[in-house]
Chains A and B, each alone.
Chain A
C-alpha cells in the first residue's frame, strides 16, 4: 500500500499543498498530469529524495515520512532510465545487493533470475552505451527490483519508447509487478498509457489529486 496524507512539498517557488491519495497493496496506481504539474515532485517525496514540509507518507503500515531514501525499500525507475554509464548491465542488477552486502552467490542468483525475467541475459556484460530505449528501461527496471522492494515508483518509464516497445514494456512491467506482489506508482502525461497499465487512475490538476477510477487490487 502507498498512502500519502495531506502532503505539502516545496520546490523553490513552487508548492504543492494538501495532496492525499492511496494505492491499495498490490495495486497499480497511475498519476497523470501535465508537464510542470508537480508529478515528479510527489514521486521524489515518496522515494525520500525530496523533503516534505507537512503531511505523512505510509508504505504498508509503516510511516516513512522521515526515513532516508535507502531505508524505504522502494524501487525507483527514473525518466529515460538514467543508467550508470560506466557500469555493465550485470553491475546495474547487482548494485543494490552489493551495497547491502549480500552474499556473492545470492547476488549471482538474483542477477540471473532478473536477467531471465527481463529477457536481458545476452546484455549482461554490455555497458549502457548503444543499448536501445527498451533495453535501457529493462535494465533500469531490473536495477530497481533487485532488492525485492515492496513498492515501485516509475517516472514516465515509457515516454522515450517507440510504439511496439511501448506495448511490450507495459506487459513486462505489469507481469513483474504482479509476480513480485508489489504496489506501484507510475507517473505519466499520457492518458492512453495510464488506461492501458493502471488500475487506479489519478489526475493531478491545479495542485489537487483527483481519483478517476479505482478498480481496486485483484
Chain B
C-alpha cells in the first residue's frame, strides 16, 4: 500500500522559539545598559558629570585600574600558555584533578577567593614562623600588589581555559614535523606553536583583562577599597553606592562599560591586522 503523501510541517515554530528565547536574553543585556545610560543622561547634569570626572579619586581609580588590569592580564597569559599547552597535549597521572583545581577560581564565590588569599598570606604557615605577609615586608595585603594578585587569581583561570581550547584546535602534526627536522620541544613550541596560537593568546589576554576589571569581591576582602590607595573602578562603584551617590556610581559603571568595549574592539582590530600579516602574503 502506498503511504499517503507526507506534508512537511512549517519551520515557523522552531525559528520563532530560538529567536524568541535568545532575543529575550539579548533584550535583558541591552535593557540593563540602556537603563544605565538613560538614568545618567536624565539624572546627572553636565556640571555634575564634569565635577565627578575631575576629582582626584576617580582619576587615581581609572589609572590604577588600567595599570593593574594590564599587569594581571600579562601575568595570566604568561601562566596560561604553558598550562594550557600541558593540559592539551599531555596525559599524566592526576590530570582530571589538576583540571578541576584549575577551575576552582571560576566556580568559587568571589568573596571566598578574597578570604582564602587573606588567610593564605596572613595566617600561614600553620607552624610558628613568619607569614607570607611578613616575608613580603608587610606591604602586600591592603596594597596594590594584593589588587593585582586578587585579579590574577580569577582572570588566569579563564585564560588557561582559553589557551587549552586554542591548543586543542591546533593539530600536533605541525610540531611533530618540526621535531623530525631537528627541533627540540622548546624550539618547536617557539617557532611553530606560538605563532599558530597567536589569536588564542590575544583572546586569552583580552578575556583576562576584562575579567580583571570586573573583579570586585576578592579585591574588597584582600586589598580593601581604600580611597586613593587600592581603589579600582569596581571599588569606586561600591564606594559611591555605599555613600548614597547613585549618580556617581552609574557614571563610573558606564565608564567601565566604555573601557571594556574599547578594549574588545581595539583587540579585534589589532587581531585582524595580525591575521592579515600572519596568514596572508
**Known contacts A82-B171, A126-B281; is-contact A70 B196 (Cβ 8 Å):** no
Q: How far is the CB of B124 from chain A (nearest CB, A)?
A: 41
- B279 with A85: CB separation less than 8 A: yes
**Residue B255 is within 8 A (CB to CB) of chain A in the complex:** no
Question: Whole-angstrom distance between the alpha carbons of A100 and B281 in the complex?
Answer: 26
Q: Does A99 contact B (CB under 8 A)?
A: yes
Known pairs A84-B196, A86-B196, A125-B281; A70 contacts B173 (CB<8 A):
no
Count chain A residues whose beta carbon lies closer than 8 angstroms to a beta carbon of B: 34
A129 and B195 CA atoms in complex are apart in Å by 15
Complex formed: what's the CA distance from A192 to B177 in Å? 27
When A49-B176, A86-B195 are in contact, do A129 and B280 touch as well, CB less than 8 Å? Answer: yes
Q: Report if A21 contacts B (CB, 8 A).
A: no
Q: How far is the CA of A99 from the CA of B180 in the complex (A)?
A: 11
Other-chain contact of A70, B174, B182, B191 (Cβ < 8 Å) = B182
Q: Which of A70, A76, A130 contacts B184 (CB 8 A)?
A: A70
Q: Is B89 an interface residue (CB 8 A)?
A: no
List residues of chain B with CB within 8 A of the CB of A58.
none
- Smallest beta-carbon distance A33→chain B, Å: 19
Contact across chains for A147 and B179 when beta carbons are under 8 A apart: no
- Residues on the B chain within 8 Å of A72, using CB: 180
Distance (Å) between the CB of A24 and the closest chain B CB? 22
> Distance in Å from the Cβ of A79 to the closest Cβ of chain B?
8
- Give B198's nearest chain A residue, CB to CB: A86
Q: What are 24 of the A-B contact pairs (CB < 8 Å)?
A: A44-B176, A47-B176, A49-B176, A69-B176, A69-B180, A70-B179, A70-B182, A74-B180, A76-B177, A76-B180, A78-B173, A78-B177, A84-B195, A85-B196, A86-B195, A86-B196, A96-B181, A99-B181, A99-B182, A100-B182, A125-B281, A127-B280, A129-B279, A130-B280
A144 to B195, CA, bound (A): 21
Residue interface bits B157-187, CB-to-A below 8 A is 1, else 0: 0000000000000010110111111111001
Interface residues of B in 191-229 (CB under 8 A from A): 191-192, 195-196, 198
Query: Within 8 Å of chain A (Cβ to Cβ): is B278?
Result: yes
Interface residues of B (CB under 8 A from A): 171, 173-174, 176-184, 187, 191-192, 195-196, 198, 278-281
A residues contacting B by CB (< 8 A) are 44, 47-49, 68-70, 72, 74-76, 78-79, 82-88, 95-96, 99-100, 125-130, 143-144, 146-147
Q: Within 8 Å CB of B174, what residues of A?
A: 82-84
Decide: A49 near B181, CB < 8 A? Known: A82-B171, A84-B196.
no
CA of A79 to CA of B171, assembled, Å: 11
Q: Which residues of A contact B178 (CB under 8 A)?
A: 84, 95, 99
Question: Which among B183, B196, B278, B281 has the highest number of chain A CB atoms within 10 Å?
Answer: B281
Report the separation of the CA atoms of residues A86 and B180 in the bound assembly, to the nearest whole angstrom: 19
CA distance A143 to B181 in the complex (A): 9
Further 17 A-B residue pairs, CB within 8 A, beyond A78-B173, A85-B279: A44-B176, A47-B180, A69-B180, A78-B176, A79-B173, A84-B178, A86-B195, A86-B279, A87-B195, A95-B178, A96-B182, A127-B279, A127-B280, A129-B281, A144-B177, A144-B180, A147-B181
- Taken together as a complex, chains A and B put the C-alpha atoms of A48 and B174 apart, in Å, by 14
A82 contacts B183, C-beta separation under 8 Å:
no
Chain B residue nearest to A74 (CB atoms) is: B180
Interface pair A49/B179, CB less than 8 Å apart: yes
The list of the 7 closest CB pairs from A to B, nearest first, reads A70-B182, A96-B181, A86-B195, A69-B179, A76-B180, A82-B173, A99-B182
| B187/A99 in contact, CB under 8 A | yes
Q: A78-B173, A127-B279 are in contact. Are A84 and B180 (CB under 8 A)?
A: no
Q: Is the CB of A75 within 8 A of B183?
A: no
* Min CB–CB distance A149 → chain B (angstroms): 9
